[in-house]
Amino acid sequence: MSDSVLDVARSPLALLAVTLAGYQAGRWIQQRTGGHALAQPVLVAIIVTGAAISVLDVDYPDYRSATELIAFWLGPATVALAVPLHRQADRLKGFVVPLLVAVVVGAAVSITSAVLLARALGAGETLERTLSTKAATTPVAIALTEHLGGIAPLAAVFAIIIGIFSAITAPAVLTLLRIRDRRARGLAVGAVSHGIGASRMLREDETEGAFAGLSMGLSALAISLLVPLLALVLW
């Protein structure tokens, strides 16, 4: 009897339900706290779901394939980032050159600094390589890390951790840095924390969200091109 209950609890349907429920719990907390920065639904959902699969003793690869249905929508949602950008396209005027230069500079800085900081603190070379791609959106981070000889699924975890950290802290940090142009704010967040950062900016302001989405895309390109070049110098 208890075995068959456990089987249901470990079924793909139950794992999907836990993931959705964790996300709903996160949204509920976000609403109850008046949109407090710490209450990012993705963070709450990862804690709830992570705890659930640990208790149920479900292996992560099994969980991952059970929730493919949810992960699938990341692709179309990324395509959809064209929508806020289209609605904000007038704001591109006079900003194209600063935008492109800033994205390239940012990609070089974030790759190099991640590797050098990790090295200074005694991380092994595999970990250095895995950390180098963390600013890119998860599919790019995974593909690049595989190519570099790092640990690809861990690269995705790093990208998501820094995305959540950024979603919580970036707006306040940008204000401290006196970056007050909404275009530049979105650009900076998209460049260092991809879609998760962009999702926070979309909640704050459409211009910030639109530029974060564009920046995420351009940064994915810049990081993909720069990582193999910088790898020649860094290792």
Smallest separation, CB 92 to another protein (Å): 10
Which residues within the stretch 188-227 sit at the binding site for another protein (CB under 8 A)? 188-189, 191-193, 195-196, 198-199, 202, 204-205, 207, 209, 213, 215-217, 220-221, 224-225
| Interacting residue with another protein among 32, 83, 149, 235 (CB under 8 A) | 83
Should residue 149 be labelled a site residue for another protein when binding is judged by CB under 8 A? no
| Interacting residue with another protein among 54, 62, 229, 235 (CB under 8 A) | 54
CA 4 distance to own-chain centroid: 37
| Interacting residue with another protein among 32, 177, 229, 235 (CB under 8 A) | 177
Residue 17: count of CB within 10 angstroms of its CB: 13
- Of 124, 67, 107, whose CA–CA distance to 194 is shortest? 107
Should residue 90 be labelled a site residue for another protein when binding is judged by CB under 8 A? no
- x-or-dash string of contact with another protein, 156-175, rule CB under 8 A: xxx-xxxxxxxx--xxxxxx
Quote the CA–CA distance of 141 and 161 in Å, as a whole number.
13
Should residue 85 be labelled a site residue for another protein when binding is judged by CB under 8 A? yes
Buried-exposed string 200-209: b where 16+ CB fall within 10 A, e elsewhere: bbbebbbbbb
Please name the residue that has the structure tokens 């390109």.
221
Should residue 129 be labelled a site residue for another protein when binding is judged by CB under 8 A? no
| Interacting residue with another protein among 5, 8, 121, 233 (CB under 8 A) | 121
Quote the CA–CA distance of 105 and 113 in Å, as a whole number.
12
Three-state DSSP at 86 gives helix
Smallest separation, CB 109 to another protein (Å): 4
Quote the CA–CA distance of 175 and 33 in Å, as a whole number.
22
Residue 5: count of CB within 10 angstroms of its CB: 9
Should residue 133 be labelled a site residue for another protein when binding is judged by CB under 8 A? no
Should residue 180 be labelled a site residue for another protein when binding is judged by CB under 8 A? yes
Should residue 74 be labelled a site residue for another protein when binding is judged by CB under 8 A? yes
Please give the size of the binding site for another protein, defined by CB under 8 A.
120
H or E segment to which residue 83 belongs: helix 82-87
Backbone angles phi, psi at 33, to 5 degrees: -95, 10
| Interacting residue with another protein among 39, 118, 148, 168 (CB under 8 A) | 118
Should residue 182 be labelled a site residue for another protein when binding is judged by CB under 8 A? yes
Smallest separation, CB 54 to another protein (Å): 6
